[in-house]
A = this chain, B = another copy of it.
Amino acid sequence: MSEGQSDARYGERMQKKKEIMDSRIGQANDERGVVIVNTGTGKGKSSAGFGMVARALGHGQQVGVVQFIKGKFATGEEAFFRQCDGVTYHVMGEGYTWETQDRERDTEMAEAAWEKARTLLQDESVSLVLLDELNIALKKEYLDLPTVIEDLAGRPSMQHVVITGRGAPQDLMEVADTVTDMRKEKHAFEAGVKAQKGVEL
C-alpha cells in the first residue's frame, strides 16, 4: 500500500527489527515476580489490572483481587471474576459505600482490606495479586505507606502485583518494576456521555 518501498527493503527492515527484538529478549533472562503500577488521570488503570487477571487465569494461575474502593453499584468485573475458578475476590467494606464520609470508618475499612491483601501477599500459591485503587487509600492516608512497601517486599519471589489508582506515591513508584502513567487525552464523560455498563461500570 505504501508506494516506493520495495518488497526487498521491507523484508530487510522487518528482519533487522526481528534481530533487535530477539537480542533484547535474549538479554532479559531474569524470571521473578514484578510490581506493576498503573497511575494517571486517564481511563484504563483498573481495566488493565483486570485484563492481567484474565491473562493469568488463562495460564491456569491463582489470582487474588482486593478492591480498595466500593462504589454504589456492583461492577461488571466483580460479577464476572467472582464466578471464575482460581480467583479470591475481596471488596473493601463489602456492602459499605464511600458515601458515609466518616474518616475513622474509612480508615478501619482500608486497614481490614489491607489484612486481606497481606494474606494474599504471603500465599505462594497466588501468582498475581491485584490491589485495585490502592493508590487512593494511600493518598488519603488510610494506610501506612512504609508498611505497604514492606509487605510487598516480603511477598513470594515469583508473585506479581498490580497496583492501580490515581496519584501513586513516589516511594511506591520507586520500588515498582513497571510504572505506566495513563494520561487522559480526552474522555467521553466530558462530552456529556453517561457512565455505561461494560465501559465504566
A side interface size, CB within 8 A:
84
Copies assembled = 2
Look across to chain B and name the residue whose beta carbon is closest to the beta carbon of A52: B47
Q: How would residues 53 to 76 of chain A score, 1 for a CB under 8 Å from any chain B CB and 0 otherwise?
A: 111111101000000000000011
Chain B positions within 8 Å of A195 at CB level: 25, 28
Distance in Å from the Cβ of A169 to the closest Cβ of chain B? Answer: 13
Q: What are the residues of chain B within 8 A of A185 when measuring CB–CB?
A: 173, 179-181
Closest to A37 in B: B185
CA distance A195 to B61 in the complex (A): 16
Q: Are A198 and B28 in contact (CB under 8 A)?
A: no
A28's contact among B78, B101, B192, by CB below 8 Å, is which? B192
**How far is B86's CA from A80's CA once the two chains are assembled, in angstroms?**
12
Residues of B within 8 A of A7 (CB): 102-104
